Every structure is written in structure tokens, then in C-alpha cells.
């Protein structure tokens, strides 16, 4: 899945991953590439609720230099949007607002 969007944080956008591809390797493990290079690996949990909505919780090994980030993403398959709340150490860290497409 390719994601293109904006991250909002106190440090601004994470422009190095404004466009990235998530490859789901197994039912619980994925990796992320941006600009053709590996930028992250994560464990994840996925739940699709109906034809329109699903939730993914990602637990990346490292995210923007941190090892305590959890992404709570909401997929809207009708609109092909992905919005996420990111926490670090259990506290608000950033939000992501983007569009997704299958590649």
C-alpha cells in the first residue's frame, strides 16, 4: 500500500516519509520503504470492521529515531484515506493525514 500525506507534530512534518510504501510481509509484520530504501519495520494488528472501515495498530521498532512509538491508524476504504494518531511513551506525538492506494 502506498501512503501519501502530511504528518503534524511539534517538530513539523516528517517529509522523509511523506510518500512511502507499506508491505505487509505476514499477518503481523510489515516493512516500510521510501524513495526505494527501507525506512522501518513494525509489528501490527489489523481489524476490518465492514466494507468501509478498518483499524491498524503499528508498533515500529524505530520511528523518527524513537523506539516507543505506536501508530493507531484508521483506514477508510471508500475514501481511500488513512488518518492516524501517534503516541510516544504513551503520550501524544503526532497525527498523520493521508491518502492510500494499493500498489
Summary mean pLDDT of the chain? 97
Q: What is the pLDDT of residue 22?
A: 97
The model's pLDDT over 31-65, given as tens digits with 9 standing for 90+, comes to 999 999 999 999 999 999 999 999 999 999 999 99
Q: 70 falls in which pLDDT band (50, 70, 90)?
A: very high
Residues counted in the chain: 103
- Note down the domain range covering 38: 2-101
Share of the chain above pLDDT 90, in %: 99
Domain count along the chain: 1
Q: How far apart are the first and last CA of the chain?
A: 5
| pTM of the model as a whole | 0.92
Q: Are 70 and 58 in contact (CB under 8 A)?
A: yes
Amino acid at each position: 500500500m502506498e501512503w501519501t500525506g502530511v504528518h503534524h507534530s511539534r517538530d513539523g512534518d516528517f517529509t522523509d516519509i511523506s510518500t512511502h510504501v507499506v508491505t505487509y510481509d505476514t499477518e503481523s509484520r510489515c516493512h516500510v520503504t521510501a524513495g526505494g530504501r527501507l525506512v522501518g519495520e513494525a509489528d501490527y494488528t489489523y481489524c476490518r470492521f465492514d466494507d468501509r472501515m478498518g483499524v491498524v495498530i503499528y508498533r515500529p521498532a524505530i520511528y523518527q529515531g524513537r523506539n516507543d512509538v505506536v501508530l493507531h491508524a484508521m483506514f477508510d476504504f471508500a475514501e481511500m484515506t488513512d488518518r492516524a494518531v501517534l503516541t510516544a511513551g504513551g503520550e501524544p506525538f503526532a497525527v498523520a493525514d493521508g491518502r492510500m492506494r494499493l500498489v
